[in-house]
Amino acid sequence: MAAEREHEHVRVAVIGSGFGGLGAAVRLRRAGVTDFVVLERREAVGGTWHDNTYPGCACDVPSHLYSFSFAPNPEWPRNFSGQEHIRAYLERVADTFGLRQHIRFNSEVELMSWDPEELHWTITTGQGRQLTADFVVSATGPLSDAKIPEIPGLEGFGGKVFHTAQWDHDYDLRGKRVAVIGTGASAIQVVPAIQPYVEKLTLFQRTPAWVMPRADRKITRLEKLLHSKVPATRYLRRQLLWGIRELQVSAFAKHPNVLGLLEKLASSHMKRSVKDAGLRRKLTPEYRIGCKRILLSNNYYPALAEPNVDLVASGLKEVRGNTLVASDGSEAEVDAIVFGTGFHVTDMPIAHRVKGADGMTLAEKWTGGMEALRGCSASGFPNFMTVIGPNTGLGNSSMILIIEAQLNYMIDYVKKLDALGGKVALDARPEAVNAWNAHIQDRMRRSVWNTGCDSWYLDANGRNTTVWPGTTAEFRNVTKEVRLEEYEVRRAAAQGSAASSRTTVTGAAGRGSATAAFHAAEEG
């Protein structure tokens, strides 16, 4: 780890060391930029895959697609690998690509302010440490800050309370009466994982989810061997997984009625496990499949059919002592509450800590809704980009594809700054951001995400500011380069007044060797 210095200046500061931050670090090094730091609030890499350790936590995008193109892993154990394998993969990425020297652990960003005179960002992290950076890559991700709803009486609850993303492994749920709140992707993994050993599980379901079968299985030794010895097989597998998902996009984004066919599949999936017609009625959604994220599980419905599980088809409204009260008046006395209530996605706390050119925070800028040119650049926030920014999320494919596309944009951004020369900044033009956003919102009108359900894709104003309404190939295309006409070029009044260590972007330095080393490590 590099030593903290007073008045330290870096070319690039990357915030977060999840997939986005580690990917940014790899791409910067491969482009010959070594003067950068990765600021990570935790004590280890992984981001959301470090934080989410709840029982049953796994990814519902196949691992051969949910991994970096430049760090393939022939050893993925399952189609849908568990959290511990994904976290371990990210640790190996950090090691193999020589990223640890750049990472500052336990460095939570408290404030980032743009200095319009010096044309750099001043970043204050925990313990009041400060550094400045020419360019900031905010890779904090949308699933990083757990959300617990304000429930009257919760503070008076005498039992244990935690969120799925903050699992307390020291608290033993065995033999306890446990309430799980929510039926999103996290909760439906927790329920079957803990149902066998809790005394009683009460699930508070405000809105039922559409749940499809999960084509999960172990990846055989033969497949692993093939993927390791014949890389083309690995590549083909990834391309197939990718292609199938690209073909689905038109139904989600333009022809939601076609998705009705999936509802039949999901309904018969439920029927196979839930014999009680009354329970099936409670579990059947009344919105078009895909409007909320489609969930994949083979063990959620069987768990709900077990005698120690009660489904309360109503949201949690109030807590009275140790009794949980639902909106429909049902009550359950419990020892522990597990909130699977999601994350601050459209109101991410980091936005309150970023101050742009006119002193306004990103949160203030986004009062009317998040928006950023090509998902990367908010106007008034020069030399700053978001990885998994506004309208970059996917409902059906791998976010790693989006992240890698944004990292192409990042490298071109840094190259463009180099080419302009001197102390320089690029600030997205408001009209370019508006045009981009109007185009996105116009496309959104026909999509399944706007068919009337309430979901975390929508912000407080009811606008979808999270999902990308196109294919990943299209996103890659629109982020392949920074178009200078979409930015204002700002120059420092007094050139060279700040201590700047400028590294010229050189191209693909070290590309082959690090990727080869990753393969070797995997094969070993």
Task: Give me the residue whose beta carbon is nearest to ligand NAP.
Answer: 184
DSSP 131-194: EEEEEEEE---SS-SB-----TTGGG--SEEEEGGG--TTS--TT-EEEEE--STTHHHHHHHH
Contact 139, 24 (CB under 8 A): yes
Nearer to ligand NAP, 82 or 510 (CB): 82
The least distance separating ligand NAP from the CB of residue 159, rounded to whole angstroms, comes to 17
Q: Encoding tokens for residue 412?
A: 């071109």
**Which sign, positive or negative, has the C-alpha torsion 459, 464, 467, 473?**
negative
Nearer to ligand NAP, 58 or 266 (CB): 58
C-alpha distances out from residue 65 to 81, 227, 511, Å:
11, 13, 20
The least distance separating ligand NAP from the CB of residue 75, rounded to whole angstroms, comes to 20
CA 60/CA 43 separation, integer angstroms? 26
Nearer to ligand NAP, 346 or 386 (CB): 346
Cα 398 from chain centroid (whole Å):
10
Nearer to ligand NAP, 45 or 143 (CB): 143
- HSE, CB side, 13 Å, CA atoms: give it for residue 86: 29
Q: Encoding tokens for residue 379?
A: 């106007």
C-alpha distances out from residue 488 to 232, 266, 387, 428, 504, Å:
44, 50, 21, 6, 22
The least distance separating ligand NAP from the CB of residue 126, rounded to whole angstroms, comes to 26
C-alpha distances out from residue 401 to 140, 430, 431, 510, Å:
17, 27, 28, 22
Burial of 1 (0-12, 13-18, 19+ CB in 10 A): exposed
Q: Encoding tokens for residue 507?
A: 């191209």
CA 30/CA 513 separation, integer angstroms? 10
Q: Encoding tokens for residue 327?
A: 């909106």
Nearer to ligand NAP, 314 or 408 (CB): 314
Q: Which residues of 112-132 are buried (b: 16+ CB within 10 A; e: fewer)?
A: bbbebebbbbbbbbeeebebb
User: Which residues of the chain form contacts with ligand NAP (CB under 6 A)?
Assistant: 58-60, 143, 149, 181-187, 189, 204, 206-207, 293, 315-316, 340-343, 454, 456
Nearer to ligand NAP, 345 or 428 (CB): 345
The least distance separating ligand NAP from the CB of residue 353, rounded to whole angstroms, comes to 22
Q: Encoding tokens for residue 101?
A: 């020297």
Nearer to ligand NAP, 59 or 376 (CB): 59
The least distance separating ligand NAP from the CB of residue 394, rounded to whole angstroms, comes to 9
The least distance separating ligand NAP from the CB of residue 194, rounded to whole angstroms, comes to 15
The least distance separating ligand NAP from the CB of residue 210, rounded to whole angstroms, comes to 11
Nearer to ligand NAP, 132 or 189 (CB): 189
Nearer to ligand NAP, 380 or 395 (CB): 395
Cα 382 from chain centroid (whole Å):
23
Residue with tokens 């109030």: 318
The least distance separating ligand NAP from the CB of residue 349, rounded to whole angstroms, comes to 16
Nearer to ligand NAP, 105 or 162 (CB): 162
Nearer to ligand NAP, 209 or 424 (CB): 209
The least distance separating ligand NAP from the CB of residue 291, rounded to whole angstroms, comes to 10
The least distance separating ligand NAP from the CB of residue 296, rounded to whole angstroms, comes to 7
DSSP 391-458: T-B-SSS-HHHHHHHHHHHHHHHHHHHHHH-SSEEEEE-HHHHHHHHHHHHHHHTTSGGGSS---TTB
Nearer to ligand NAP, 114 or 457 (CB): 457
The least distance separating ligand NAP from the CB of residue 325, rounded to whole angstroms, comes to 11
- 3-class state of residue 269 by DSSP: helix
The least distance separating ligand NAP from the CB of residue 146, rounded to whole angstroms, comes to 8
